[in-house]
């Protein structure tokens, strides 16, 4: 399965699709990028006159790239419209703000994938290479 085919199988669409490109994917790791559009609705009310990306959106970006894309890759052709990936847990540390129009890179490493549960160690870096958040994300593929 190609990187574009994986993105096409994601169960999201604009404005809730947070994957621009996958840079690398294999059975143990995925790396992808996303650029935050300054016109996204969540910026309109998140810190008046000084918008920053909400932590829940940063978590979603890490989950879409680091968990869902990797999960689709791991189950390969068994992922279809009747397959779901449900988030089961997150533990994220937020280290730096992410501003409108920033491009981020998400790097995720599989901790384990068994009995339909995928757990990953994830981190997000900004364009300068600074780590902006990190943690673990887990989900069930059903």
User: What are the two backbone dihedrals, phi and then psi, of residue 111, each rounded to the nearest 5 degrees?
Assistant: -90, -50
Rounded CA separation 46/136 (Å): 25
On whether the CB atoms of residues 11 and 64 are closer than 8 A, the answer is no
- Find the length of the chain: 142
On whether the CB atoms of residues 117 and 83 are closer than 8 A, the answer is no
Kindly give the pairing relationship between strand 21-25 and strand 131-141: unpaired
Catalytic choice (3, 9, 46, 119): 46
Q: Is 91 a catalytic residue?
A: no
Tell me which residues are annotated as active site.
Answer: 46
């Amino acid at each position: 399965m190609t990187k574009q085919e994986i993105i096409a199988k994601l169960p999201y669409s604009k404005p809730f699709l947070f994957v621009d490109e996958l840079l690398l994917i294999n059975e143990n790791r995925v790396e992808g990028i996303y650029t935050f559009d300054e016109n996204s609705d969540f910026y309109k009310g998140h810190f008046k006159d000084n918008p920053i990306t909400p932590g829940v959106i940063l978590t979603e970006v890490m989950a879409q790239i680091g968990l869902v894309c990797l999960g689709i890759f791991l189950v390969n052709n068994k992922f279809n419209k009747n397959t779901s990936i449900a988030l089961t847990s997150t533990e994220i540390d937020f280290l730096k703000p992410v501003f409108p129009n920033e491009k981020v890179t998400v790097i995720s490493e599989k901790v384990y994938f068994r009995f339909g549960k995928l757990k990953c160690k994830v981190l997000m870096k900004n364009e300068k290479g600074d780590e902006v958040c990190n943690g673990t994300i887990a989900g069930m593929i059903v």
